[in-house]
Each structure stands twice: as C-alpha cells, then as structure tokens.
Structure 1
C-alpha cells in the first residue's frame, strides 16, 4: 500500500524517473530496508556506486570526521586530499606505462564531458585544429549532458534533444567504428564492458584494433570507466582485462561509495592541454569528497580485496549460468536474459531482491563488492523460488 509520500512525490517532483514503487530508508552492508521495514538483498548498489555497501563503518567514520573539519573551499586553493587521491589513481593507471595526471569532478557524465573537451583541446594545442571528430561504439552510454549524450547511442535518450554536438558520431557496427577513424578524428571513446547495453564485454580484438588505429592516426583513446572502474570487474580498472593503455580515463560511481565524485585521468602530455582557466568545477575535488574517495580507493586497491571480488564473481556467474540464458559480464557486473525484465524485477523485489533493468528482456546485477558466497546462495534461493512460482 502506497503512503502519502508517494502521492506527494507525484505532485512536487519531475516525473522523468517514472513511477517508483519503493522508498528505501536504511541500509546495512548488502541489504536495504524500505519505509515499511522490509529487507532487500541489494544487487543494484545504487547502480554500481556503493561498492563497499551501505553504512560501511569505515566510510561512516571518514564522513563524520571530515564533516567536522572542512567540507568545501573551492579549487582556488590546494586541497591535500586531491593530491593524495591523484597519487593513488595515477599510480594505479600507470603500472609501467606513461605517467598520468588527475583532475576531479562530481559525476560520470561530467568526467566524460571534460574528457571530450580535453581531446579536442589536445589536438588544437598540438597544431591539429582540424581533428575534432569523436567516434563512439554502438550500444554506448556515456551520459546525458549534450557532449556525452552525443556519443551515447540509445535513440530514446536523444529524442527531442537535437541537434547534438557536431562531429560526435556513433558507429552503427563495431567494425564500422574502426573504419570511421580518420585523420580528422580527435578521439575514440569506449566502454570495455557496456553496462547500459546489457553488461556486454566488448570484443578484445576489436578494442585492440581501435587502439592501434587511433594511435596510428594521432587520435586519443578515451576509456569510460565510470561503471567498470574501482574494482567492479575484479581489476581496479576494467581495461586491465583487455591490455589497453588509454590516453584518457574517466571515473565516478564507485569512487565515492555514494558521495558524488568523479575523476579524469590523462597521460601527462594530454593533461597539459588544460592550461589554467580552460576547464574547472566548483565542487569537484572538495575536501569532503576527497576524504571518502581516498578511503574507498585504499580499501579497493588491495590485491586481496580484488581477488575476493573475482572469486565471488565466479560463484555468481556459475549460479547465473545454471538458471539463465546469455549470461555476460566480468567480476561483479553481470547481465542475463529473462522473458520480461520489468515483470521479473518487480517479482524479485516482492521476494526481497533488488536488481536493475537494462533492456526489455535484460537484467543487470551490480551488487556491492563486499558480497560473499552466502549472499550468492541467498540470491539463488530467491531466483529458484521465482522459477517455481
């Protein structure tokens, strides 16, 4: 039974998210609780955000401590937490390759927007003002601001939003993406696992050919790690599975465990194109967000933590393949087919399991990375009940 809260929501909120049938008020670990006190096994993690789960004691302590100390000063001043986090992330990105630099923003779409600007600016300052094209893959999702939307393939997100950014193009096929790269291309932007498209890893050979072709032409390779980064695939960065060396990396989601924070990492020669005043963010990298992100990265980058993600991910994959068709993914990021995804999600919630829909027949699972085998067994018990109902 819906409460007055839902009725009031219909009167005062934009309806761009549609009708929502749950109000969640409390969390603990991998569980969420609604306003009626019902408990749910959370396989959404706020859409791949709460990698350390809900009400994590360490995260809570950092939030409380930093809130008493300093929240925001702006980027007019040097922020110690930015330096610490940049050192961690650039070391993780480098791993024997070229040095990276970092700048901090608030969201994934903002990180991608900044990366697209940076790619064009890099070409400009290096004497290639004609290199303005950006090529994206089919089934891509990079955000909803005008630049990131222009490299997002789903037509429903673009309806009524045109004209989009000139020169930003989405290939119709994966092979066509390679063919589209030319001497006017500033960059190619990719997700190594396409989350919104159904959690589908992109073919490794194709990614390598894209990277090689971009390098040959002097175009940059942007890897969107907004959903795959911070341990989601069992490696700190998803591109590590594919042997890539991105020129620009974008991050957000799991970086702050629910506190808005994003990052743009770029090889030093690329980062240098953003000279003073060329790009900025009022809230980006504030002391509060940096304190939380530093803690999250410190936990997730531990090799033992990442190994555990891979182990539990394999246990989940085994269960999924026993029950569903077309199971795809990596680590703790999986998709599978059902007859009717919207109906399946609703029936799962009725039995205490939260999942997301990423297509008419496609379910996405992105649980907290602290998931254990016992929770996988609990998940299997619920889907078994559903299959028998």
Structure 2
C-alpha cells in the first residue's frame, strides 16, 4: 500500500473559484450518484457476498450522446421505467429525458428557486416508493437559505411545463452562500434521504455541530432525524466537510462522498456516522488526531469533484476544473482501501463534468457542465453521455 499511496493517491482536486472549489461529497436503496435509482430497478449487492474484484486498470467507452442542448444541468435521477430527470441550476426547471430517444419534456419550474453564484436548483432524487407516491425531491437555493422539498409529478398531465405539484418543504434553514452550497441528494439502501451541504465560504460552520452547513445529512423522507444518527434529534450524519457534491454507496452499502478542497487537495471520503472530516483544520491527508483522512486525494487542478457513482466495483468521479472522469477501484473488503491508484479518463474531451449516475450493468450516464458560466460551451453543450465502463 505504500507504493500505492506514493504513486497515485496524491492526485488532487482543488478549488477553483466557482467550482465549489472546496467541496463535494448512509445507506440506501441503490448505489448511485446524484438522485439514486429506485430500489426496484437496481438490486443491491449482498453485503455478505464476496464481490469479484474490478480490474486494476479500467476502461471507458463513449457509447452515445443521449441528449444535448441542456442549460446548466446539475442533478440527475432515474425514473422506474428508465427515463431520466435532469435539473437546471440557473433556470430552476426539471426536464424529463426519454432514455431511448433523448427527447426532452419540460416538467416545470420549482417555485422559490433563487439562482446566484453556485446556488440554484441543484440535486434531485426520486422517491424510493415512487410507484405509490410519484414524489420527486429537490435541493435548491432560495432568497434566504438552501432547502429540500418534494413535489408530486403528474405523469398523466398533458400540459408541458405544468407537471409538477406545489413543493412541500421537508427541510429548511441550510445556510446559503454565493459559493459552497453543496446540493447533492440521494436515497440510500435504507431508503432514507441523504444530502451533502457546503460551508458557504464560512469555514467555522463545518465544525459547528448545530449548523447544517459543511455536513452530510441523513433524514426520513419527511425530513425528520431518525434512529442511527449520531444525535437522535439531529439530521447531521457527518461533519467537517467543505463542500460535498457527490454521494454514492458501494456493494457493501458503504457510503462514499466527494469533496472540494481549497488550494491543495480534493478528496474522496469513506463516510462513517459521526465522523469529523477535518475542514477547516485539515485538507487532504493530514494525519491529525480526531479527523478522518480521505481514502484518495487529488490536486485541485485535476479534479474539483462533483458527482460520483459506483459501477463495476469502482467509484467513478466527475471532475469540473479537472475536466476528466476518475475511476477509483475498490478492494471490496469493506475497509475503505482502494484496489489500485485512481485512473483518469476523457481528459479535456468534453470539458467540465458535473454528474454521473449508474445506468445498470456496465453503463454510466455522464452529464457535462460547460454552460454554468465557468466553462467554455461548444456546439451541443451541455449533454448527457452514455458510457460503458469497467
């Protein structure tokens, strides 16, 4: 492992202004990245099974472009039938994407969204009981805070743009800022809702256990604290985070989170309940008592990580400033150790990469992020790509 540490975990994903530079990051229904897929669509691996190890060196093939012409896409979630929902950070809208044709149908705008800086309509997720309730969850920035709300999606509606019901806010009061708003939400294998938040540029909030900023949160689908949280009356699950924008579970139902560093190191963390991940006292592998070091780290110029997903035994991590897709193969032992050094793909080919989502088997959906005011859009941006990975 010494050779591994020396050889490749010293990659770093840093913070560039506006990349959430300084952030990113249960248990849940389906291993996924942004909005987790419904449990019925993705059977979870048995935690007692001995999973086949992924190859030390992986591969990525771009199978197709599912759709293009998206504006500031951020969150991605899969419906039970396989179609996708994508959020627009700056427009505050949710659009349905036909998984076969790429056809776009506007569901509507989320009331109360106030886009500015890195804030706006961010992560989305589909209820684990969607077949019964047709609920879509969203994390978004308002004039006063970041909050999480759920809306009923009327799939039988006939008026595009008016297919979402009024939002029911389940959690409010998450601090907001022009930067570091976090924003990723996902249902875990336990069917509870998890959210990654940012410290808004106010470093002290990450270590303040009473603040919802700079945390990973765990709550019921109604937004309430629940049994198994570090504190019974709090939704705070882990703390000491700078800006968590990636959440995913592996085959052992272990939660992982990606996080923006500041000037030195971006991080991939293995999350344990009540864990303190060090910010602002530690950035990257600091070896300081009381703080949990990341499993992998990158230079901030090589990552600025947003979404992550678990596919074929590896964590796949989208890089904004790094403009590449990282593969981190896991040992499968449940000890948080990588099997080999992180491996980059697609470097610079599609610009900034925002979100990844497991698509079943060896497939992965990848969302670009070049229309978010920090990228250089090319014809067709932004787009959703279909990848075959191993």
With normalisation by structure 1, the TM-score equals 0.26
Structure with the bigger percentage of helix: 1
The normalised TM-score by structure 2 is 0.26
For the pair shown, the structure with the greater C-alpha radius of gyration is: 1
By percentage of residues, which structure has more strand? 2
